[in-house]
Structure 1
Amino acid sequence: MPNDHRHYDETDAGPEWGTPKWVWQPLAETLGGFDLDPASGAEEEPIAYVRVQLPTDEHPYGTAVREEGVTTWYGDGLEEGWHGDVWLNPPYGRQHNPRWAQKVSEEVERGALDTLTALVPASTSTNWFQDHYANADLLTFIDQRISFDGSGSDSASFASVIATFGDVPTAYVDALGELGFVVSTDVSAVRATAPREPSTVTPEPNRGGVR
């Protein structure tokens, strides 16, 4: 954990930071709640009905704890299969970003997900982003630097983007629009522009000097 509590995208200074409620809650409400959070533990309150959290001395690998309608599974979200409507705010850093991005692609291709909502650094020039997030159905560029739970009052040193995979309701897209600029990566949804016909108007001769 860095001394200045700042949150970086491509260092391993502080991977455990929680998502503030104003980011995830409006999206969750449109889906009837998220089914799974495979990288939980840093948030101030549970985001999904099932959470995967790293094991502890008190809760060794494979332990499941149910409390107030939420099940916490102590394991590794990179090793578990994902299901339903998934929320993901993975650990950030050079070691973490590529591994979690690869896992996202694997789970999307496996076909057990309804939707996947991933909050990640907007590192659009990196290989891990181009290979695994750039093909999301929707990309939403958050219109402010996020102050993550656990970071004090400091905002992140980088911009954030939400990558959405799967079919989502209109209300979800509207909620994204409240968070930032939404881009659809579905080329088929882009209306083709017909080529313009050549002009048949003959320009008038210039009789009065420069116009």
Structure 2
Amino acid sequence: MTNVVARTENARLTTLEGVIERGLATFVEVGQALLEIRESRLYRETHGTFEDYCRERWAMRREQADRLIRAADVASLVNPIGLIPNEAVARELAPLRDSPSLVQQAWQEVTERHGPTPTAAQVREVVATRLDVHNHRAQGTGENEWYTPQKYIDLAREVLGEIDLDPASSTAAQTAVAARAFFSEHDDGLSRPWGGRVWLNPPYSQPHVAKFIRKLVQELVAGHVTHAILLTHNYTDTTWFHDAAAHCAAICFTRGRVRFVSPDGEEASPTQGQAFFYFGSGVDRFAEVFGPLGFVLSRHP
């Protein structure tokens, strides 16, 4: 009898543990599925956009789908060292997801403090501290308001012909850029439609840089932006860098570092080099113009 009870209890335990494992994995599996559908545009036979697909097929807003995708991405980064208990906790780690090492360091710190199942609030506190440090290092000064020197703008104009839009700019920066239209911080360029030939030197702190690159890719895929040149630090280990690289036609990695200009005219170089991404059909022209700055890699046809 005892053996029968033990076998029954063990079988029930196995069943319940399976339920728990599936529950823990659900948001990860959903996020990964949504990501593949979005990136491969598997919805295109029945829906015009990913947003329409989410709303009509799953009664889900685009923002919710994006949150699930980010949460799944974070969970995969943490997986080698631990298991994230739920989406709410994963969501708090998402601002660090462009740096896998930071995500893992934050998770290790929070679990050392609070155990293997911390609350979202406990994770948020640790992430806030690490995000402040990361943002400071990302720019070299902690400030986002740094302008691109005129000579690089002139090179971009040689390739693009004209700059129709500078979506992350300011009135002062337009002295050099002279775009037909620009969005300042107060205009909230992320919420506006983009189009034509774009020059983008986004704010380099997180989560801003990732959001601007995501917006650029969306507008390119939609066909609204026809050509673009993007200037960023060469953080090749980040998700946003790989997102840009996956959609661009060519990249110029600079020899040396760009000396950016502050609003008061001070010049400063960050601690790493830069990369110019080119999106469009004029790869040969881009390589000719930007080649002297470093070396250019282009995508195979």
TM value normalised by structure 2 = 0.50
1:37 equivalent to 2:149? Answer no
Structure 1 unaligned regions, length at least 5 = 1-6, 56-74, 189-211
Query: Which moves more between the two structures, 133-142 or 109-118?
Result: 133-142
Q: CA separation of 1:154/1:12 partners in 2, compared to 1, >3 Å: closer, same or farther?
A: closer
After superposition, the C-alpha distances for 1:19-49 in whole angstroms (9 at most, x for unaligned) are 1011121220343221110011152614111
Amino acid at match of 2:274: S
Aligned residues: 162
- The answer (yes or no) to whether the contact 1:12–1:92 under 8 Å persists in 2 is no
Given the alignment, which residue of 230, 241, 244 partners 1:132?
244
d(CA) in 2 for partners of 1:22, 1:10: 21
What is residue 288 of structure 2 aligned with on the other side? 174
What is residue 141 of structure 1 aligned with on the other side? 253
CA RMSD of superposed structures (Å): 2.2
- The answer (yes or no) to whether the contact 1:38–1:82 under 8 Å persists in 2 is yes
Identity %: 31
Q: CA deviation at 1:88?
A: 0.2
Q: CA separation of 1:163/1:149 partners in 2, compared to 1, >3 Å: closer, same or farther?
A: same
Q: CA deviation at 1:156?
A: 1.5
* Structure whose residues are more often strand by fraction: 1
Amino acid at match of 2:161: G
TM value normalised by structure 1 = 0.69
What is residue 155 of structure 1 aligned with on the other side? 269
Q: CA separation of 1:16/1:10 partners in 2, compared to 1, >3 Å: closer, same or farther?
A: closer
Relative CO higher for 1 or 2, CA cutoff 8 Å, sep ≥ 6? 1
Structure 2 unaligned regions, length at least 5 = 1-135
d(CA) in 1 for partners of 2:193, 2:141: 25
Q: CA separation of 1:50/1:184 partners in 2, compared to 1, >3 Å: closer, same or farther?
A: same
d(CA) in 2 for partners of 1:94, 1:102: 13
d(CA) in 2 for partners of 1:9, 1:121: 8
Query: Which moves more between the two structures, 117-126 or 37-46?
Result: 37-46
